[in-house]
């Protein structure tokens, strides 16, 4: 649709019950008194659909009554945005672990996210976060995160595996900047303390059994998002780059740099199908340490593999799945999926040839099911079962809220 030169004399927003009209008008580009521009309207539709509070957006254009110009109405279908979330993950031989929490994605009707979680993974953990992407202006925002995470971590030594109680307490402050609706950046600082306490297993004279180190890191995230949203369906491409420079006060856990990029590609297949893909490539400083940063884990990258079974200083992981709508009734959707997760890691101090080593390669096909509420943001309850087909493979079930990726 292309409009001839005309003027917008009245711009209305309807359908928003909780979201402030002033907040929505701050985000959109079309203004009263501006030229009627179909491309600008479509950009506004895409921008509004990115908001967690918006399930769907549409527009209407009509000749204004008693005026030389047009009335434009933006219609909003709102999501319910106060929702719990949960991730439950285990495998045949592993401990049961879960994370549960509550998030409000539209606090004060201004797109602010407030959240808190509790995690049990052998030990107890908590986290709090607030994210206000438009706090200062249309483009500038702020995010603050606090976490006190405690887990039982395997440390892989030359003569075997040791179990450590690992605690990471951190406070993170991030500035948020939006170049345009496709390009966003986050940058900031994270101050944290890592505490390792030996529990049992193998020992090594060069690896301490107790370690407490204060650290800080610089973080930069660049997000290019060219996805198109239609309720729970996605199509298009997205790329998220994450780079961190970590400074340490102890050479047992020395300074290092880590960077990884997640590439996403989604394609609609007919009326009911959605092909979804995520490719991650990550590299860190290649330090020969048992505390390497890239983990192999059920909840992060490969469904069914187990809870934190290995570590590396570089990683390449591909998740690909086909999602198919089996049933759709008003607000409810039942979706099935078939997936294959695969990846490989570089050993600490190794080289990129490690990617081709059989013992570093994991391939896990599987099946899953999704229960979706179309009018509650991210209200997708998922169950996935992954079965390993590579050497020394496991199998397991992963539960969670939201799509796996």
Q: DSSP characters for 280-342?
A: EEEEE-----TT-SEEE-TTTT-TTS-SS-EEESEEEEEEEEEEEEEEEETTEEEEEEEEEEE
Question: Does the structure show a pLDDT above 90 at 291?
Answer: no
Indicate the SS3 state at residue 45. Answer: helix
Residues linked to residue 386 through DSSP beta bridges, in sequence order: 366, 396
Query: For the segment 218-254, what is each residue's pLDDT rounded down to a tens digit?
Result: 999 999 999 998 889 999 999 999 999 999 987 777 8
290 within 8 A of 207, measured Cβ to Cβ: yes
Question: Does the structure show a pLDDT above 80 at 172?
Answer: yes
Question: Does the structure show a pLDDT above 50 at 377?
Answer: yes
Strand 380-387 and strand 310-312: the pairing is unpaired
pTM, whole model, 2 decimals? Answer: 0.83
Average pLDDT over residues 17-42: 94
pLDDT at site 289: 78
The architecture that CATH gives domain 82-401 is: Beta Barrel (2.40)
Q: Which CATH class is domain 8-78?
A: alpha beta
Lowest mean pLDDT among 105-119, 203-217, 335-349: 203-217
Any idea what the Cα angle at residue 248 is, between residues 247 and 250, rounded to 5°? 160
pLDDT at site 223: 98
Lowest mean pLDDT among 248-262, 287-301, 320-334: 287-301
Indicate the SS3 state at residue 360. Answer: helix
Tokens 């420079």 correspond to: 245
Q: What is the C-alpha separation between 196 and 152, in angstroms, rounded?
A: 10
Mean confidence (pLDDT) of the chain: 91
Task: Report residue 89's pLDDT band, with 50, 70 and 90 as the boundaries.
Answer: low
Question: Does the structure show a pLDDT above 60 at 3?
Answer: no
Location of each CATH 3.10.20.310 domain in the chain: 8-78
Residues linked to residue 90 through DSSP beta bridges, in sequence order: 397
Location of each CATH 2.40.160.50 domain in the chain: 82-401
280 token code pair = 């991650």
Query: For the segment 148-164, what is each residue's pLDDT rounded down to a tens digit?
Result: 999 888 887 878 888 99
Task: Report residue 90's pLDDT band, with 50, 70 and 90 as the boundaries.
Answer: low
pLDDT at site 387: 95
pLDDT at site 92: 46
pLDDT at site 94: 56
pLDDT at site 238: 98
pLDDT at site 95: 64
pLDDT at site 347: 92
Indicate the SS3 state at residue 186. Answer: strand
8-14, strands of its sheet edge to edge: 8-14, 70-78, 54-63
């Amino acid at each position: 649709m292309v409009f001839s030169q005309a003027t917008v004399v009245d711009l209305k927003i309807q359908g928003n019950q909780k979201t402030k009209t002033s907040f929505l008008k701050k985000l959109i580009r079309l203004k009263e008194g501006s030229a009627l521009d179909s491309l600008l309207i479509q950009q506004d539709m895409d921008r509004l659909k990115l908001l967690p509070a918006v399930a769907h957006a549409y527009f209407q254009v009509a000749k204004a009554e008693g005026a030389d110009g047009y009335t434009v109405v933006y219609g909003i279908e709102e999501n319910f945005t106060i929702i719990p979330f949960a991730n439950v993950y285990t495998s045949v031989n592993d401990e049961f672990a879960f994370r549960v929490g509550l998030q409000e994605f539209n606090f004060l009707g201004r797109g602010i996210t407030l959240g808190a979680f509790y995690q049990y993974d052998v030990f107890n953990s908590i986290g709090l976060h607030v994210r206000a992407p438009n706090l200062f202006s249309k483009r500038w925002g702020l995010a603050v995160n606090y976490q006190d995470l405690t887990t039982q971590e395997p440390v892989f030594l030359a003569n075997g595996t040791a179990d450590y109680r690992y605690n990471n307490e951190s406070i993170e402050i991030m500035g948020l900047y939006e170049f345009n609706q496709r390009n966003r950046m986050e940058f900031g600082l994270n101050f944290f303390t890592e505490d390792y306490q030996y529990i049992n297993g193998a020992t090594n004279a060069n690896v301490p059994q107790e370690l407490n180190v204060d650290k800080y890191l610089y973080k930069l995230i660049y997000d290019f998002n060219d996805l198109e949203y239609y309720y729970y369906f996605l199509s298009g491409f997205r790329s998220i780059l994450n780079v961190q420079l970590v400074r340490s006060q102890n050479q047992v856990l020395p300074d290092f740099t880590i960077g990884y990029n997640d590439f996403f590609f989604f394609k609609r297949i007919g009326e009911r199908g959605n092909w979804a893909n995520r490719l991650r490539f990550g590299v860190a400083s290649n330090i020969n340490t048992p505390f390497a940063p890239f983990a192999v884990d059920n909840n992060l990258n490969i469904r069914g593999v187990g809870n934190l079974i290995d570590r590396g200083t570089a990683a390449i992981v591909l998740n690909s799945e086909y999602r198919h709508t089996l049933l759709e009734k008003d607000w409810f959707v039942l979706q099935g999926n078939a997936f294959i997760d695969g990846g490989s890691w570089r050993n600490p101090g190794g080289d990129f040839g490690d990617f081709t080593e059989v013992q570093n390669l994991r391939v896990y096909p599987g099946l899953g099911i999704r229960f979706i509420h179309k009018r509650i943001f991210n209200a997708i309850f998922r169950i996935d079962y992954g079965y390993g087909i590579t050497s020394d493979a496991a199998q397991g079930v992963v539960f969670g809220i939201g799509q796996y990726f």
